[in-house]
Every structure is written in structure tokens, then in C-alpha cells.
Structure 1
Amino acid sequence: MNKRISLLAVASALLAAATAPAAAQSPAWPSKPVKILVGSPPGGPSDITARLFAEQLNKRGGQPVVVENRPGAGNNLAAGVAAKAEADGHTLVLSPDTVLTVNPLVYRNQNFDARNDLLSVSVLTSFTQMLVCNPKVGVKTLGELAAKAKSDRMTYASGGPGVPGHLAAEMFLQASGAKMQHVPYRGPAPATQAVLAGEVDCGFLATPTVIQHVKADKLRALAVSSSTPSPLAPDVPTLAKALNQPELDATFRLVLQAPSGTPPAVVAQIERAAAEIMKDPQVRSRLQASDLVAQGTTSAQAQQVMKTEIARWEPLVKRLDLKAD
């Protein structure tokens, strides 16, 4: 009997020894407060998604999760801070995919390498852009805008060089043969105000930022950049339909990223939380109300999407020779 007990004790000890290293390699997350950086001002798609995600993480208990806006340089400021943070999963950044796909080509003086210093953990949401004009411009359709822009000097606003609105606008101009001067702002909110004030003629801007002004007849919506209409404005045509070019599609993604070198076990925990939160029906409904589509991909899927989008946008950026300091 004693011999049997002794053997059981030895077996238990061996099992504990075998599992201890695995436990040591799987640190609990979060073990301290989590900060999610956002590279644009409050009110845009990144901010809306980040705050809802943080809210849901906070409901799970444990450590507090806060969102910090650090706008500027096409979302590079926030991404750069995250890239240099401790790689433990407690400093994250939510950025449009352009931080990886476009910015490394556009911004010549970055102090970090977005493609190597950041790890894509999950695509949380996807979103589109809406082309709006000040009513005083006097155009009601995309065709009318294209015709006017071929004969008159016209301007368009975006949230900054290389951001989704800038790319969507350049896609439209290339496809239509029109010409408009780009006027970049520090985020979609100030760009929207510029269009409202008539400082610029039009803007390709985030739908949640401009839709209230469209419904109030303060801005005129001409098209959305995605391949399908926006649920917030189903009567506004897509670029593809308005220009009769089915291949046109400028859908963008918001990517949750961590510093490269973050332990795989921590990445797996963040990835799992993202998937669970983005599957929640209430979360999906709230996102849809802001023209955002919940995703919640795995890290591997997110990285593959980024590779695909880099291959898609690099030729356009190089052809247009888009540059910013």
C-alpha cells in the first residue's frame, strides 16, 4: 500500500515538473493595465472600434483597459509608440491597414519599421469611405463631379497623406481621368469641417464621420468606396457602379497590433479575446450602426490579409509617387 502511494506521489511530482515550464511560458494576460493607442482623433472608425473593444475587455474584469488618441502623420505617431513599447501585450495599437500597406512608402522619415516592428494580432473591423462635396460645388452625381474636375480647378480633403480617404480618392481620379488637388488634414474630423466650411470642395472621408451631415443636407454624398453600398446610406452608389468599373473596391481594415516579440501565448490570448468579442451580436450591431463590419480574425489571417493588401496598394502608391515628410 505504501509502495503504491509512493508511486502515485512520484507520478504526480513528475507531472507537475512537466507542466511547470508550459505554465511559465503562458503568462496571464492582462497582468497589468492595458493601453490601446489610436492614431486619429475621437469619432472616427479607429476610435469607435477601439473604445468598443476596450469596453468589452473591461467587462471581462481583471485589469483596466484604456484608449489613448495620438493623432498625426497618417496614424504613424501612435503606431511608432506601440512599436517601441515593451513586448508584453499591454501596449497595443489599432490602426488602419494603411500603416502597413502604404505608409512605409509614403512617409520618408519614420523612426520605426511598421512591417517588422509591429505584429498584426487581429483584424477587428473593416470599413469604407464616402465621397462627399459641399452643396455649393453644384454636383449631384459622381459623373458630374468627374466632368467638373476635368475643366475646373478643384480640391479634395482627406485625413492625411496615405490614409484610406487619400487612396480612395486617388483610385477615383485614376479611374475617371479627373484631376483634383489633395488637401490633407490631421484626421477625418478636421477634414470634414473643412468641407463643411467650403475650404475645400469635396472629401473622401469615413462614413461615420460624415453621415450625419449628409442626412442634414449639409454635405452631398456621391459614392462609397466599397464594393457594396453602405447600410447607413443604401441609396449612395458604389464607385464601381457609378463609374461602371466592377473591379473598383477600396475597403479598408482596422488592425490590432502589438510590438514584435510579444510572446505567442500572449498573442493567442489577445487573439482569442478579439474573436469572442467580435462575434457578440450586440457588438456587431453597434459596429454596423457606425458602418463598421466586425471581423475578429486570427493573427495568421491578419498577416495574410496585410500581405495581400500590400501587393494591391503598392503599385498605385509608386505610380502616383505619393510622398510625405
Structure 2
Amino acid sequence: MKRRDIAWGLGLAMAGLAGRSAFAQAYPARQVHLVVTGTPGQGTDIVSRLIAQKLSERLKQQIVVENRAGAGGNIAAEYASKAPADGYTLLMATNATHAANPAMYARLPYDPTADFTPISLVGLLPMMISSSPALPVSNVREFVALARSKPGAINVAVPSSSARVVLELFNQLGKVELFPVSYKGSGPAFIDLFGGRIQATIDTVSATMPQIAGGKVKALAVSTARRFEAVPDVPTLAESGVGDFDLAPWNGLMAPRGTPREIVNLLNMHVAAILAEPDTRKRMVDLGIQPASGTPEQFDRFVQGEARKWGDLIRKANIKAE
């Protein structure tokens, strides 16, 4: 090749890089939409609005939360997957949209892997197993021993599909046969627990904490690998002898596949800074969410591992979307 051709080619390449750099520096030039799987007031919605507010302050541009609830998060995920890959539509992904749903639904209107670019994990929502005060146990080891002495006789409320999957892992690792009783929400489950119609429940820490404070339930353990700072005195299931237990719902920020890397890195940097702020951490912990960030690559590996974990448990228990 002639020197002028080489120079011309390098010039085009540099111009392209300069163009991408300028684009990233200008981002965001207009409001950004954060698509949320839940309805207003639900846990994912609350944390999404907190992150959106903080991002708005940092990016000097409005981040609008757009609720598209339904079908276990599939409606929101499909909508976000088909948006332009320009950084102006983001998704607050969940363990449902990217780990559980591929195993619970016969078909999905989006591809959790091919259609999205991971940005950052945002937080874990530890689940807690708790029992009725009338049940003669004070810890998980005693609970497991009682369950083994009465296979299938202990009923456990599962007010969500996530709780159902956590129970499946508990049965496997604890080598017990706890019977799941499905509920449409935490309220009815706790009413039956108080009334003695069920003996235990698996629910989020945020839903369980008020019941603990009122002395209506006994906290036995949390489902994450580490103790949750909102309830530091409550041990983990792993600490309590239930294998290598580590399973919890989660939220994480994603963008449509093909979103420029400069924008992904910019958003990742700001999310990490937001989650490191003391007031943000306190607010999230108070909501029952353990802040958790990391690089886009770490989030990608995390999601892949979660998809295998949740998928295997769901298929083994034959859990189907309702």
C-alpha cells in the first residue's frame, strides 16, 4: 500500500475513535429511560428510583423510571431489548428476567444473553427463613432435625417464585422434605403463620423485619453467603450447617446489546460511586437490599452463574410460571 493510503486509513480510524469519544462525552444529551419490571412501590421499583435520582444528579440529565410490569418481568425485558442501543434506554434486570424465567417459561420474547449488555450489579435482596414462635426450634439446626423427624409434615409459606426456589435449594442441601404452600404476597402468608396454619415462611428480609420486631416470628437464617448488615445477628444458612448455601434475588443495570462501551463504562463508574455513598448504602440496607457493584465483566459472569443455579433448581422442582 502507498503511504498516502495508509495515512488515509489511519485518519479514518482516528476520526472514528474521535467520533465515538465525542459521542460518549456528550452522553447523555437528553433524558434516559430506566425500564423497571415491577409496579410502583415494589422493591425493584424503589431501588430503581433511588439509583435513577442519583444518576440524574451525576449525569446532569433526567433519568425517567418507566414501569412495565407483567409476565414475571418479561414485558419490561422485551421492551428494553428492542430499544436502540444508544444508552437512552436501560433495564433494571432481575434474577427473574435473566436467571429464572428462561427455565420457568417455555418461550421468552427476548434472549437474556444475546440481547443485553451488562453494566453493573446493583444489589442483592437476601431472603430469610423464619418460623412461628410456637414451633419448638430456636435455630436452623433444630429446625432441620425436626423436619427430618417429620418428613413432609412441616409447611413453609412461599409468597413468591424466588421463595419457592430458595426452598428447593434448602430441601436439597438440608436433606429435608419441607412442603411448599404458595401465597399471593407476604401478607396472607404471615397471617397464616400467626394463626398456626403453617409453621415457617421464606420471604425477603424487608418483609420479615417488622414481624421480627413485633415478636411475631423467629428469625432463623438468611439465604446469602454473608450475613446481611440490616440483621447482623441472624446467621446465614451456610453458617447454620445447610451446605454451601448462597441464593438470593438481585437487581442489576443492563443496556441493549451493542450499546457503546464508553457509555457502559461511564454508567458503571457512576453506579459504583453511588453505591459507595454512605447515605445510599443506608437507604438500601433499610429497604432490605445489600448494595453490590463490580465491573461489567464481573456482572456478566455473575449472571451466567445465576442462570445455571436458578435454572437447575427450577427444572428439578418442575416450577412453572403461573
Q: Which category describes the TM-score, using the shorter chain as reference length?
A: 0.7 to 0.9
Match of 1:22 in 2: 17
Identity, in percent, stands at: 28
Report the alpha carbon displacement of residue 270 of structure 1 after superposing the two structures with TM.
1.6
TM-score normalised by the chain length of structure 2 = 0.80
Partner of 1:271: 268
Hey, what's the Cα distance between the residues in 2 that align with 1:300 and 1:281?
25
8 Å contact kept, 2:222–2:228: yes
Partner of 2:187: 193
CA shift for structure 1 position 45: 4.2
Distance (Å, rounded) in 2 between the aligned partners of 1:91 and 1:77: 14
For the Cα contact (< 8 Å) 2:222–2:235, is it kept in 1?
A: yes
Quickly say closer, same or farther: Cα 1:73–1:218, change in 2 above 3 A: farther
2:209 equivalent to 1:181: no
How far apart are 1:303 and its partner, in Å? 0.8
CA distance in 2, matches of 1:51, 1:170: 32
Say yes or no: does 1:54 pair with 2:52.
yes
Out of 194-203 and 26-35, give the one that drifted further: 194-203
Distance 1:140 1:42, change over 3 A: farther
Amino acid at match of 1:178: E
**Alpha carbons of 1:263 and 1:184: their partners in 2 closer, same or farther (altered >3 Å)?**
farther
C-alpha separation in 1, matches of 2:54 and 2:293: 13
Secondary structure of 1:198 counterpart: helix
Structure 2 counterpart SS, 1:103? helix
CA deviation string 1:100-141 (max 9, x = no partner): 222111111322222222221111223311123455777654
The AA in structure 2 aligned to 1:24 is G
8 Å CA contact retained: 2:167, 2:180: no
CA deviations on 1:190-223 (whole Å, 9 max, x unpaired) are x211222228734322212321222122443222
* Structure-2 separation of matches of 1:77 and 1:139: 42
Equivalent residue, structure 2, for 1:92? 90
- Superposed displacement of residue 182, structure 1: 4.4
Q: Does 1:284 align with 2:281?
A: yes
C-alpha contact (below 8 Å) 1:45/1:208 kept by paired residues: no
Pick aligned residue for 2:224 from 223, 226, 246:
226
Question: Shift of the alpha carbon at 1:256?
Answer: 0.6
Partner of 2:3: none
Tell me how far apart the structure 2 counterparts of residues 298 and 36 of structure 1 sit (CA, whole Å).
Answer: 19
Q: CA deviation at 1:75?
A: 2.6
Does the 8 A contact of 2:137 with 2:143 survive in 1?
yes
What letter matches 1:35 in structure 2?
H
How far 1:31 sits from its partner (Å)?
2.2
- 8 Å CA contact 1:119, 1:259 repeated in 2: yes
1:64-143 equivalences under 5 Å are 64-133=62-131, 141-142=139-140
Aligned AA for 1:193? G
Segments of structure 2 that go 5 or more residues without pairing to the other structure are 1-9
Which of 202, 205, 208 matches 1:207?
205
Shift of 1:155: 4.3
User: Aligned in 2, Cα 1:133/1:35: closer, same or farther, shift over 3 Å?
Assistant: farther
- Over the aligned positions, Cα root-mean-square deviation in angstroms equals 3.0
Mapped contact 1:100–1:306 kept (Cα < 8 A): yes
* AA of the residue aligned to 1:36: L
The Cα offsets for residues 50-106 of structure 1, whole Å up to 9 and x where unpaired, read as 122111112225321122333333332322221122222222121223422221111
Partner of residue 31, structure 2: 33
Q: Structure 1 pair 198/181, CA: closer, same or farther in 2 (3 Å)?
A: same
Shift of 1:261: 2.2
Give the drift of 1:19.
Answer: 5.6
5+ residue gaps, structure 1 = 1-14, 186-190
SS at match of 1:120: strand
What displacement does 1:266 show?
Answer: 2.2
Q: Distance in 1 between matches of 2:32 and 2:133?
A: 44
- Taking structure 1 as the reference length, the TM-score comes to 0.80
Closer, same or farther: CA 135–108 of 1 in aligned 2, 3 Å: farther
Cα distance change of structure 1 residues 25 and 166 upon mapping to structure 2, 3 Å threshold? same
CA contact (8 A) 2:159 2:189 kept: no
Deviation sequence 1:33-56 (CA, Å, 0-9, x none): 222222234455423321221111
